[in-house]
């Protein structure tokens, strides 16, 4: 792997995000199934649809850069989703499981916010205006999702505390 410029780093990190988003698309259906709270289920469902759009935005960016989105597996996201999978195998009270799912999802969102924040900044420096615009849209969706999860947690954490 040649990494001689900021553009090389930009493309590598975009590939990581592309892999991360595709892993999330595979993981979310099980999280939707495992969640008990209707609001949490609906939140995950909405974010699954959003995530499909985020993949399309990345594909547009790769097209503009004349680069391939393939060739990397994001190990960071693999690890976060493995932790989530481990949680879902636990025999937990439904409210406690929901609180755990929110935590797992917020770990994912924060990871994405870090990733998109970095590539957005690289795109600005590189003068890739269309990429900046698309990456900012996704960054805003990730931030909004994180805030929505915080809001849901305010109720669900208390229900978890009162469970059992």
Return the residues of window 119-148 that contact Fe ion according to CB under 5 A.
142
- Three-state SS across 23-38? HHHHHHHHHHHHCCCH
Minimum Å distance from CB 40 to Fe ion?
15
Minimum Å distance from CB 61 to Fe ion?
14
User: Containing H/E element for 81?
Assistant: helix 75-88
Contact 58, 115 (CB under 8 A): no
DSSP E strand stretches across 47-131:
none
Q: Could you tell me which of 136, 146, 124, 118 has the C-alpha nearest to residue 54?
A: 136
Minimum Å distance from CB 75 to Fe ion?
17
Q: State the binding string over 9-48 for Fe ion (x if CB under 5 A, else -).
A: ------------x---------------------------
**Helix 38-65 crosses helix 129-162 at what angle (to 10 degrees)?**
160
Minimum Å distance from CB 54 to Fe ion?
5
Residue recorded with tokens 């990456």: 135
**Near Fe ion by CB under 5 A: residue from 54, 128, 134, 156:** 54
Q: Which lies closer to Fe ion via its Cβ, residue 37 or residue 54? A: 54
Minimum Å distance from CB 129 to Fe ion?
21
d(CA 62, CA 156): 39
Q: State the binding string over 79-118 for Fe ion (x if CB under 5 A, else -).
A: ---------------------------------x------
Give contact residues for Fe ion (rule: CB under 5 A).
21, 51, 54, 112, 142
């Amino acid at each position: 792997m040649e990494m001689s410029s900021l553009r090389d780093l930009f493309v590598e990190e975009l590939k990581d995000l592309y892999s991360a988003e595709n892993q999330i698309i595979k993981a979310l259906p099980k999280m939707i199934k495992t969640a008990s709270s209707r609001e949490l289920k609906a939140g995950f469902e909405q974010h699954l649809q959003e995530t499909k759009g985020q993949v399309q935005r990345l594909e547009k960016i790769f097209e503009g850069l004349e680069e391939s989105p393939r060739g990397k597996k994001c190990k960071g996201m693999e690890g976060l989703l493995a932790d989530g999978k481990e949680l879902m195998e636990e025999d937990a009270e439904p409210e406690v499981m929901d609180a755990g799912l929110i935590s797992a999802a917020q770990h994912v969102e924060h990871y994405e916010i870090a990733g998109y924040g970095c590539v957005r900044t690289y795109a600005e420096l590189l003068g890739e205006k269309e990429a900046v615009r698309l990456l900012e849209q996704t960054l805003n969706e990730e931030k909004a999702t994180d805030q929505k999860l915080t809001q849901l947690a305010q109720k669900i954490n208390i229900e978890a505390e009162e469970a059992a």
